[in-house]
A = this chain, B = another copy of it.
Amino acid sequence: MTNKATANGVKIEGVTLTELRQICDDRGAVLHMMRSDTPEFTRFGECYFSEVLPGGIKAWKRHRAQTQNLAVPVGRIRMVIYDDREDSATKGQLQELELGRPDAYLRLRIPPGLWYGFACLGDSSALLANCADLPHDPTESDLRPIDDAGIPYRWGKQNP
């Protein structure tokens, strides 16, 4: 079983996956991420990148205000999202997604209130890009340890 992300494969309320264009030629691809006229675009807060080295896992984080708009232009990432929002139709759901080119180059929107974490898959580093709607503000996010018992997911060694 794989959890390769697909645009219609979302099961958590408020999360969206959108296919992004990859314009390929023999010099290297042009990879779309976000435009000001993208229907999903609200405002620009910050663009930054999170590198994940082979074996690296970054978990868990929850934003209270900032929406994440994520894509993986390099390498392959396992993203895990957990919904414990009191008012959510999908409370208690957990979703694993694999993101990476060429088969799963999508923009993943994670609204505030969801726990998420991600890991590098395979033997080469991955890059997660974020076009968030607010600039980074450490006071609006929460962290939990990677092995937090309140989230029903165990991060083992990640294999593709």
B-binding residues in A (CB < 8 A) = 26-37, 43-53, 56-58, 73-74, 120, 125, 127, 129, 131, 135-136
Contacts A35-B46, A36-B46, A45-B36 known; A28 to B74 CB distance under 8 Å?
Answer: no
CA A131 to CA B35, docked complex, whole Å: 10
A28 touches B46 (CB 8 A): no
- Contact with A58, one of B27, B31, B37, B74 (Cβ below 8 angstroms): B27
A49 touches B35 (CB 8 A): no
For the complex, what is the distance from the CA of A135 to the CA of B37, rounded to whole Å?
8
Are A49 and B135 also in contact (CB < 8 A) when A27-B56, A28-B56, A57-B27 are?
A: no
Q: Is the interface of A mostly helix, strand, loop or mixed?
A: strand
Contact status of A36 and B28, CB under 8 A, knowing A49-B73, A129-B49: no
